[in-house]
Amino acid sequence: MIPDWDVLVLLLAAAGVAGWIDAVIGGGGLVLIPALLIAFPGAPPASALGTNKLAAIWGTGAAAIAYSRVTAIPRRLALISVPIAFVCSAAGALSAKAVSTEIIRPVVIVLMLAVGIFVAVRPSFGSNTGESPPLTVKQTVAGCIAFAVIGYYDGIFGPGTGMFLIIALTALLSRNFIESAALAKIANTATNLGALVVFSIGGNVWWALGFMLAVANTGGSLLGSRTVLNRGTGVIRIALLVVVVVMSAKLAWDQWG
C-alpha cells in the first residue's frame, strides 16, 4: 500500500524522527504509528503496528551496531538476549488479543512516572564512567528475566520498550546509559523481529511501504546514535525524562480522554 507522494514524504519524515527517538531512548512508535493511522484512516490498526515493526527493526539494528562498535557490552548476555527477546515478544504478540489495553495502559503510566521520578531524583544514575566489572551470575539471570518480561510487553503492547530496557539494564547490571543502550538495542531488535513475524503471518504488514520507511528510520537511527555518542549519557537522561512526560500524557489521553 503506497500513498500519494505528499503523504509518503510526511511518512518518511515521521519514520526518520521515530528512528532518532528510538536510537536515543526508545518510543519512536509514538510518532510513526499515529502517522500511519492518520495516513490510512480506514486500515486495520494491526497493519500500522506491523508496518511500524518492519521499519523499526532496521533502525534499532543500525543503532545496536553503532553502539556496539564503540562501547563494551557483555557479549555472552547479548547473544542470550536475542532468542529470549524474540520468543517472548512473539508470545506477547500472539496473546495480544486476549489482554485488554484498558488494563495494561494505567499500569504502564504508573511505571513510566515512577521511572521518571527515579531518574530525576538520582542525577548520577547511569552516568558512571570507567570500565565496567564482569557480570555476576545473579546479574546475568536478572538480565535474562528483564529481556523476557520486557520482550513479552513489547509484543503485547509496546510503548516505551526501549526506555524500559535501558533503565532495567542500567539498574540490574550496574552499567552506564550508553552501555545499557547498546545491549537494549540488540534485545529490542529481537523483540521487533519476534512481533514482526507474528504480524506478517497474520497478513498485517505493508511490505513495500515498510521497506521505504525502513530507509528513513535507519537514517534517523544513525543520526540519533551519533547524537548520543557525541554528547554522552546526559542526552539520554534528558531524552528519557521528555519521553516519560510525552508518553504518559499520550497514554493518559488514550485511557481517559
**Which residues, 6+ apart, have CB-to-CB distance to 239 below 8 Å?**
21, 24, 25
Give the per-residue pLDDT at 150: 95
* Residue 130: predicted pLDDT: 67
Place of cell 564512567: 129
**Closest listed residue to residue 236, CA positions, set 62, 69, 66, 22:** 22
**Beta-carbon-side half-sphere exposure of residue 133 (alpha carbons within 13 Å):** 7
pTM of the model as a whole: 0.89
Counting as low any pLDDT under 50, the low residues of the chain are: none
Is 188 within 8 Å of 26 (Cβ atoms)? yes
| Burial class, 19, CB count within 10 angstroms (exposed 0-12 / middle 13-18 / buried 19+) | buried
